[in-house]
Amino acid sequence: MYHHPTTSTKSVSGALQSDSLPWSGLLALAMAGFVCILTETIPAGLLLQISEGLGVSEVLAGQLVTLYALGSLSAAIPLTAATRGWRRRPLLLMCILGFFIFNSITTLSSSYTLTLVARFFAGVSAGVSAGVLWGMITGYARRMVQESLKERAMAVAMVGTPLALALGVPAGTFLGALIGWRFVFGIMSLLALMLVVWVLWKLPDYPGENVDKRLPLHQIFVIPGVRPVLFVVITWVLAHNILYTYIAPYLAQAGLSERIDWVLLIFGMTSLVGIWGIGVLIGRKLRPLVLISLTVFAMASVILGIGSGHPIVIYLMVALRGLTFGGAATLLQTALADAAGKSANVAQSMLVTAWNLAIGGGGMLGGVLIEIMDPSSLPWALFILLILALLVAWRASKHGFPSK
């Protein structure tokens, strides 16, 4: 796994000498994020097709998201810790190959049980895939550029997340209705193979962490600012995924069952606008951006709860949710990287664990709320969680989300 050190030194110095962004490398990282997020979230857009295809209820079909998240959160921290010394590019290639293997299994599976197993191990692979990958995207982007460009580089590398939501999920939902959900997973497998070539062609390699510079995990967790950021990650992402996972039954009550792809497209396109705004302002405005995003998201949730039977209200509030959630990953990863300092890569694996815990929790909690009450109850659960996130972010004015 180890190459001659002069190779990485040359790559690093070359990147740092440039006063412009290394677009091809950063976009390769963005594409990795795109495949990761699409693999994780596409069942939300294909929920009805998967439910019919596997002969299970919508709630059970929603557990494809939950099992993926559980696999990822169970593996993210230990596998990130175990691979801290590995060279970065070979590790990234292993991540991408994990997506190829398990998306291919999902494509070919005709059994609900086997599909769940494949999704779980896609998530375990996501401990090397999504788990290690998210920490690597952050660390990679920051190492490829000089100090003044670090935050812009992170914004570019993270654009795959809103692109997956803006274009990938709606396009996958449309294609799923047109040619079948299995073909959508097959297309994602092909994208992973294409990405392997791209990474080999355009992405520089870097060494892992030196053994003598690694802090133990528990010391990273208690670094001031790390815990408040992780709490906001859990509550914010949990709030988002409760409704996002079960968007199909929520829209059905408003007579929008045939408009799921359009609603997801509205959410995704406004997410792109959100991440663009975050990329422009994040260097100087991280704290107010977090507080404003959480506040507006909470307000949108209340209005969704009140106007859950009115299509125009749903369209407008989904657009607001996209604007406020689109840049969440960039905001939270930047806040955690700033708080953790030199231990940012491992701290990011904690973020991934929290993120996937929230995704899995969203699948389970949303399912419980639908079974006990009905889909119109979902926005009110979002509101409670977002208020908690807002209070913690507000109080973390010294560490975590500091006033500058």
Question: Looking at residue 179, what DSSP letter applies?
Answer: H
Average of per-residue pLDDT across 197-203: 87
Q: Is residue 326 part of a domain?
A: yes
The total of structural domains in the chain comes to 1
For the chain, the 3-state helix, strand and coil shares in percent, each to the nearest 5, are 85, 0, 15
Q: Is residue 11 part of a domain?
A: no
Q: Which of 187-201, 212-226, 324-338, 376-390 has the lowest mean pLDDT?
A: 212-226
Q: Find where tokens 């992780």 sit.
A: 230
Which tops the pLDDT comparison, 125 or 12? 125
User: For residue 177, what are the CA distances in angstroms to 37, 47, 278?
Assistant: 20, 11, 33
Q: Is residue 162 part of a domain?
A: yes
Using pLDDT thresholds of 50, 70 and 90, give the confidence band for residue 34.
Answer: confident
CB neighbours of residue 321 within 10 Å:
25
Q: Is residue 10 part of a domain?
A: no
Which tops the pLDDT comparison, 296 or 215? 296
Domain of 94 in residue numbering reads as 18-203+217-395
Both structure tokens of 4: 């001659």
Q: Which of 140-154, 294-308, 328-342, 376-390 has the lowest mean pLDDT?
A: 140-154
Q: Is residue 32 part of a domain?
A: yes
Instruction: Give residue 237's pLDDT.
Output: 93
Instruction: Give residue 274's pLDDT.
Output: 85
289, 281 in Cβ contact below 8 A? Answer: yes
CB neighbours of residue 71 within 10 Å:
27
How does DSSP assign 89-101, residue by residue?
Answer: HHHHHHHHHHHHH
Tens of pLDDT along 232-256? 999 999 999 898 888 888 888 877 8
Instruction: Give residue 297's pLDDT.
Output: 94
249, 367 in Cβ contact below 8 A? Answer: no
- The percentage of the chain sitting over the pLDDT mark of 90, rounded to a whole number, equals 18
Phi-psi label, residue 327: left if phi above 0, alpha if psi -120 to 50, beta otherwise: alpha
Most confident of 25-29, 163-167, 279-283, 342-346: 25-29
Q: Which of 230, 282, 280 is nearest to 400 (CA)?
A: 230
Tens of pLDDT along 258-278? 778 788 888 888 888 887 887
Q: Which of 130, 133, 104 is nearest to 118 (CA)?
A: 104
Question: Looking at residue 205, what DSSP letter applies?
Answer: P
Q: Is residue 13 part of a domain?
A: no
Average of per-residue pLDDT across 96-102: 87
Mean pLDDT, the chain, as a whole number?
81
263, 256 in Cβ contact below 8 A? Answer: yes
Using pLDDT thresholds of 50, 70 and 90, give the confidence band for residue 361.
Answer: confident
Q: Is residue 1 part of a domain?
A: no
Instruction: Give residue 5's pLDDT.
Output: 38
Instruction: Give residue 3's pLDDT.
Output: 37
Residue 36 identity (one-letter amino acid): C
Rounded CA-CA distance 305/380 in Å is 6
CB within 8 Å of 160: residues ≥ 6 apart: 29, 30, 31, 32, 33, 34, 35, 36, 37
End-to-end CA distance of the chain: 41
Rounded CA-CA distance 103/39 in Å is 8
Question: Looking at residue 207, what DSSP letter applies?
Answer: -
Instruction: Give residue 277's pLDDT.
Output: 83
Q: Which of 46-60, 118-132, 237-251 has the lowest mean pLDDT?
A: 118-132
Instruction: Give residue 384's pLDDT.
Output: 95
Instruction: Give residue 15's pLDDT.
Output: 42
Q: For the chain, what's the residue count? A: 404
Instruction: Give residue 210's pLDDT.
Output: 66
Q: Is residue 208 part of a domain?
A: no
- CATH code: domain of residue 328: 1.20.1250.20
Tens of pLDDT along 305-325? 898 778 888 899 999 998 998
Rounded CA-CA distance 401/399 in Å is 6
Rounded CA-CA distance 336/338 in Å is 5
Instruction: Give residue 399's pLDDT.
Output: 85
Task: Tell me the whole-structure pTM to 2 decimals.
Answer: 0.71
Rounded CA-CA distance 28/339 in Å is 26
